[in-house]
Structures are given as C-alpha cells and as structure tokens.
Structure 1
C-alpha cells in the first residue's frame, strides 16, 4: 500500500539520534490523534562511492549494503518504540537511497506533515549547513522541527503559540495552529508583534481570528499584541509553549532580523518544537 497516496501520512526522518527518536514519538502521538499513518524514513547517501567511484567499489564492495543495514536497524529501533507506545498507529518504515535532506524534502511534497529532529543547540553557521535547516527551508508542506527531551517527547501541557502577521502564510499558520491545539487539547496563544500602530495591530489580529473560534469551539484563545521584533516576541512567549507555529514568510523575516546579530535564530534558540507552514506543493 502506498501510504503517501492521499497526503494523509506524517513523515519522520530517522538518523539514529535520540532527537530523531523523540521526534518519532511526538509525531506518533499526533498521528494517533489525527488517525493518520506514520512513515519513518532513513536515507543513506553513498557519498564515498560518489566521490571516489570505482576505486571505492573495489576497496569496499559491501559499503552500500552496510549503510542500508545500519539504516534499517535505526528504523527498527524507532519503530519498536513507536509501536510499544502507540500500537493503534498505522506504521511503516523505509530506507531510501539518496541525500537525506533531498529525500525528506521530496517526501514532504506528498505528506500531511513532515517531522525532523533538531540536534544539540549549535552555532548558527553549523545549523545553516544541517539537514534540519535545509528541510525546514525547502519542505513542500508543513514541517515540524522537533526539539525537546527525548525521555519526555510526547505532547504535554503547554500552549500552542502562533505568530500572526495578517499575510497569507500567517493565516495558514493560524489554521494549523487551531487544528493542532484542538488535537492536543491545548490553549492557543495568537501573537502579533507590531511596530506601527497598536490599535491597528489589535484589529488585524481580531480579523485574522474571526471565524476560527467558531470552527474550533473547544480551543481557548489568548490574543497578544506586543510592540517589538516578532522573533524576540515568539522566543519570549514560546518559553511556556509546547509548540510554536509560524508561516514560512514570517520565519524568513525572523531569520532576516536575527542573522548577523549575536543572537541565534528562532530555530536554533527555541527549546520547543516549531511548526513551519510552507504552502502545499509537490
């Protein structure tokens, strides 16, 4: 069965790290509530062969097989952990041949949600070269960059914080935010950071929320209008959140504000998972 056929599947990148395992358990909890299939993915890039060609194939004839075997072992471990805690989730796992970020970005174009684990908080220049940031930047649909304690990976108490700017992708972030808050039985905090007129900012936020509270009557909403930089505001309010939700254009503006400064960007500094709402395309 093609679990990616109807864009209902949640895809998780697995690389053997504890953060990837935490991401898988978090995604499984969400999949359980969404009644969505879960696909765990490992990608093996035969870079040694790619760079050294026939000499590598002669010197290490079993290299590719060993990579695939190691990838399958990572998937087996993650699958066992997921199945133990979420036996009702429809679960599949597959080793793909290719560059990990290319594989995951490609799969994101057919997924309902893509989840990748963020490794230890690192310098900004190192993060920019990571698979996590490349997937976060180029995913073809919504992507969660998961960070947290792998021993307590499941969604727990805490708000769902949504960055609102009145633009199209910010509106999509609100849609995802309400859906996830409803699934997780969480309070939603809608945050709009302004730099012009507070009254107009409040009106924009109220306009953005109109209709969604009626669609999700179970979700309690707090409206926050704050003067200042949106990235700083999200980091401030995100300390008490279990998930931060932003539109991709909001994210790009935040990165533009923080890059080049002594501060690290939102993806590197936040201590909770971040959902980035890219437009859907294949």
Structure 2
C-alpha cells in the first residue's frame, strides 16, 4: 500500500496552504492524501477525551481543507483522520505512516523570518520521515516561473528545486529526495555547497583545505560532480546545475532559495543527551527561506 502524503490541518490559513501544497505534491508523487487534525493539542492529563466542541472544530477544519483542495486539485484521492494530542507526539506518530509530512508556517516577518510554531519545530527536530514546511501565503503559482507578461501563472514550468548539499557528509536520502522532487516537477535541480577556508586545527590528511586558495572552489566542484554522477545516471531527465560558494552555508542557502519552488536540506538523526536538534543549516532554512522547505532526516 502506498504511503500517503499527510498534511496537518487546524483551520488556520497556514494549514490550509499546507494542505493545498500537500494535495499538489500527492498528485505529483501519485500518492493518496491524508488530512490530519489533532484534537485537544495540550490535554491536561493523559487520556483526557476531546470535548464535543473540539470534535466539532476538528470536523469543520477538515471539511474546510477538503473543500479548498477539491477546488484546486479535484483528482487527488483524499481521506482524513482525527487524533488526540499532545500535538507534537500525535503528529510524530502519524508521520510513521507518511511518505511526506506537510505542516504550515505563518510566513515571513520583517525581523525573524519564518514564524515557526513550537509544534512544527518539535516535529521537524524529531521526525524520521521528510517534513515540508509551507508558509501561509504559498499558492500554486508560486512554484512556477512567471508568465510571458511577468505575472503569476500555473501554466509555465516549475522553478528550480534547490538542494543544500553538504559535501563533507553527502547523504543519499537527501540527494534522492531532491532529485525525485525535480523529476516529478520537470524542474531543474540546483545543487549548492558552501565552503569556508579551514583553520590549521581542522585539517585532516589529504583534505581539500590543503589545496591553494584559488583552487579550492575547483576542487569542491569536482567533488560535487563525482558525488552527483550516480544520481545523474539514475535520473537522466533531470537537468542539474552545480554551485560551490565560499561563504557561510546559512547565507548561501537563503540567497539560493530565492525564487525556488522547493529547498531540500538534511537533518542528522542523533541520540545526543541534549536531545533532537535541527542543526544550524536546517534551522536557518526553516526560519529565513520564503519557499517551501523540505527537511529530510538521515543517519
């Protein structure tokens, strides 16, 4: 049985945008869509049953999302589910059944970037399936290139899919997700790696940092080409553009994702005593990038 694309729905504008994006993604992936509503997000005690008002609000939120999806993606196969909170734990449990989990974010602010709620951050930091965050203002046309008149259009090709590629630890799960996203969209894949000159204390034998400064970018680019070659062979229809830049990875990603249809970043799954973390690059992406951000966990 195919894993569904699951979208968290709570009746907010960001969750409606996430549900609509999830519907389009389900069509692209040829997967069913499941709308999920968490009742009683913060129960006072375990096993506390939802009230009649909470059940009514849950049903209304799901119907509202389904009505919106039917207007924009009438061919998607959709069902829904209601589960009880706490919200983070409930969404993590649901994600075990998902191909992709899609959640909403309230959009960009002038000072802090993405206004990402604590539930979404908790899910991203712990989820073992890919999670996509979608801002409230996201529309179908935002994924596409402008029309001939420069206006928004859904009839043009897709904007680039951007892959944040860590060449110090390239991960197959992250790379495959990005190539598959580009393939299903017929989009160009832009792989981006940011590097910084190492200090003498961080160098190991044979590392690229030993190469003279002017040649480091060329060496990194050659390494990127080698890493991606097997994926080019597997996805011959995907056009790939490779970019290496000397700068902070967080800054490079924010610039690279401007005008993209999707940014794909990785998150390492760890058992550190400090608990789950998103990592600095994924953290910057989900807080400061305007397009949908896919966070792909990997070992």
Aligned to 1:187: 188
Distance 1:218 1:188 in 2: 11
Match of residue 75, structure 1, among 43, 62, 65: 62
Residues 231/46 of structure 1: CA separation in 2 closer, same or farther (3 Å cut): closer
Aligned to 1:91: 78
Match of residue 267, structure 1, among 260, 282, 286: 286
Instruction: Give the structure with the larger helix fraction.
Output: 1
Contact 1:201 1:225 in 2 (8 A): yes
Aligned to 1:133: 121
Contact 1:109 1:141 in 2 (8 A): yes
Residues 266/70 of structure 1: CA separation in 2 closer, same or farther (3 Å cut): same
Match of residue 244, structure 1, among 263, 266, 284: 263
Aligned to 1:35: 30
Residue segments in structure 2 that go unaligned for 5+ positions in a row: 146-158, 198-215, 270-277
Aligned to 2:244: 225
Task: State the SS of the aligned residue for 2:261.
Answer: strand
Contact 1:7 1:111 in 2 (8 A): no
Aligned to 2:172: 171
Distance 1:210 1:255 in 2: 25
Task: State the SS of the aligned residue for 1:225.
Answer: strand
Give the alignment's TM-score, normalised by structure 1: 0.82
Match of residue 226, structure 2, among 207, 215, 236: 207
Contact 1:72 1:94 in 2 (8 A): no
Residue segments in structure 1 that go unaligned for 5+ positions in a row: 1-5, 257-264
Q: Does 1:101 align with 2:128?
A: no
Residues 220/277 of structure 1: CA separation in 2 closer, same or farther (3 Å cut): same
Name the stretch that deviates more: 24-33 or 128-137: 128-137
Task: State the SS of the aligned residue for 1:41.
Answer: strand
Q: Does 1:119 align with 2:114?
A: no
Task: State the SS of the aligned residue for 1:210.
Answer: helix
Distance 1:109 1:234 in 2: 29
Aligned residues: 259
**Alpha-carbon deviation of 1:204?**
2.1
**Alpha-carbon deviation of 1:182?**
0.9
Distance 1:173 1:46 in 2: 31
